[in-house]
Structure 1
């Protein structure tokens, strides 16, 4: 199903997302919760993807927008033998602002773990996909993440501080001076995870870990040789409702960065 799902996401991008990029009409943007916007592109893309995925494999679909209306949908990730996970427009705020950092993402989850994932970046045309045990790929070329630099002062990463408590935010601020780069990311996990895959970044630190934001990228990183763990060292699981996540190019990088950001 790898190619079929890729085509579904690309179709959603072409028909529902790209025509509205830098061309959103009045009334096509609204606030679904304080500080969180949603557009007609999000809703139309999710409807199309949901319909097509169910036709491909008739299992529950946990979409970001459907879950906003019915939070109980996410239980399927824990309770159903298999479920689709969909983020129809990751980086909606960027999309609304006319910035190119957004993506269309999906994952297939079995027994609480992502076993296949897809990230389509409409602005660049890049397609990232991964299958458990079969590797991570960009535009048909297999990706293997090289080890991160061994020196702390050479490491580059992103830490989204928006949802951190004051103490954690202060730790991140202190760490910034010891690293080559520590930004806040692009505002789209569908861009930041690929940036780690391709070497632009060496690590990512998140607090909020909604499954549609992270399951696709985590599988890609793992299949390319990276690691994704909770701050206590537990491996990330798509069905697990916890906060705190550190993703890194390799185990040594994970350990080094955790000691700096969480000391």
Structure 2
């Protein structure tokens, strides 16, 4: 567990942090409409992938590698084990000079996330989780504080960008019942720790790319929270194009309450 944390921090120090607010012309590219990638993403992923293979020689499913060859994501269900890597989570924030970005990694065995790591360079904070062994911030074990039982006191985020307009409108109307609803911080590696630390009580995601959600989902569940599909099935990392919709919450009661409020007619 410690070695992977070192790999992420060292790759970040070498390829990512020196370029924060210092990206040169030509170092930011568009890989898909509305989605950017930088040389920092690509260089960090190459460093992390090489070193992870040295640690455990299984396939590495990296965000940027999959962008170039989508078939690589099949390893998540075709192979007994695979690494998942997001070299710069929150790339848009990184490009804009906002500190809400992270470097993340997970280990998937038999389709289930068994370990995860999140490195937040701006605050030099390391989160990690291991299936059955808990969630940790640096050397401190994390337990999610209790959330309010009243929807009007809950704080959360609803990510509806990838939904059709009528469903977006329905969610916005229903979300008015909560105490505070924000657009989020546009980086899963920041938002999931916010749930665990008690700064946020729930998040509804729609598109769920595996490198974005595997690390944080394990962090939340090992701290006593819930990360489940809207039908109640626990989150499992899937190749892009799989099931949509994921509700993350502080605890089972908050998950049920939030789902009931957001999906009511």
Q: TM-score range by the shorter chain?
A: over 0.9
Match in the other structure for 1:242: 243
In the alignment, is the contact (CA less than 8 A) between 1:168 and 1:262 conserved in 2? no
Match in the other structure for 1:262: 263
5+ long unaligned stretches in structure 2? none
Q: Whole-Å Cα distance in 1 between the matches of residues 262 and 167 of structure 2?
A: 8
Match in the other structure for 1:253: 254
Task: Name whichever of 158-167 and 253-262 sits farther off.
Answer: 158-167
Q: 1:21-67 CA deviation, whole Å, 9 max, x = no partner?
A: 00000100000000000000000000000000000000000000000
In the alignment, is the contact (CA less than 8 A) between 1:152 and 1:178 conserved in 2? yes
Q: Whole-Å Cα distance in 1 between the matches of residues 198 and 160 of structure 2?
A: 22
User: Is 1:69 matched up with 2:68?
Assistant: yes
In the alignment, is the contact (CA less than 8 A) between 2:36 and 2:91 conserved in 1? yes
Q: Whole-Å Cα distance in 1 between the matches of residues 29 and 157 of structure 2?
A: 28
- Normalising by structure 1, we get a TM-score of 0.98
Q: Which secondary structure state, in structure 1, belongs to the residue aligned with residue 73 of structure 2?
A: helix
User: Is 1:113 matched up with 2:145?
Assistant: no
Q: 1:204-254 CA deviation, whole Å, 9 max, x = no partner?
A: 100100000000000000000001111111111113621000010111101
Q: 1:92-128 CA deviation, whole Å, 9 max, x = no partner?
A: 0000000000000000000000000000000111100
Match in the other structure for 2:158: 159
Task: Name whichever of 45-54 and 178-187 sits farther off.
Answer: 178-187
Q: Whole-Å Cα distance in 1 between the matches of residues 167 and 10 of structure 2?
A: 41
In the alignment, is the contact (CA less than 8 A) between 2:209 and 2:238 conserved in 1? no
Q: Whole-Å Cα distance in 2 between the matches of residues 176 and 85 of structure 1?
A: 32
Q: CA deviation at 1:262?
A: 1.2
Q: Which secondary structure state, in structure 2, belongs to the residue aligned with residue 43 of structure 1?
A: helix
Q: Which secondary structure state, in structure 1, belongs to the residue aligned with residue 71 of structure 2?
A: helix
Q: CA deviation at 1:147?
A: 2.2
Q: CA deviation at 1:166?
A: 1.5
Match in the other structure for 1:141: 140
Match in the other structure for 1:126: 125
Q: Whole-Å Cα distance in 2 between the matches of residues 261 and 78 of structure 1?
A: 31
Q: Whole-Å Cα distance in 1 between the matches of residues 181 and 170 of structure 2?
A: 12
Match in the other structure for 1:51: 50
5+ long unaligned stretches in structure 1? none
In the alignment, is the contact (CA less than 8 A) between 1:113 and 1:239 conserved in 2? no
Match in the other structure for 1:104: 103
Q: Which secondary structure state, in structure 1, belongs to the residue aligned with residue 40 of structure 2?
A: helix
Aligned residues: 262
User: Is 1:87 matched up with 2:98?
Assistant: no
Q: Whole-Å Cα distance in 2 between the matches of residues 131 and 228 of structure 1?
A: 15
Q: Runs of 4 or more off by more than 6 Å in structure 1?
A: none
Match in the other structure for 1:190: 189
Match in the other structure for 2:9: 10
In the alignment, is the contact (CA less than 8 A) between 2:158 and 2:182 conserved in 1? yes
Q: Whole-Å Cα distance in 1 between the matches of residues 57 and 167 of structure 2?
A: 42
Q: Whole-Å Cα distance in 2 between the matches of residues 174 and 83 of structure 1?
A: 40
Match in the other structure for 1:233: 232
Q: Which secondary structure state, in structure 1, belongs to the residue aligned with residue 18 of structure 2?
A: helix
Q: 1:139-195 CA deviation, whole Å, 9 max, x = no partner?
A: 110000022100010000011121122222112211232111111110000000000
Instruction: Tell me how large the CA RMSD over aligned residues is.
Output: 0.8
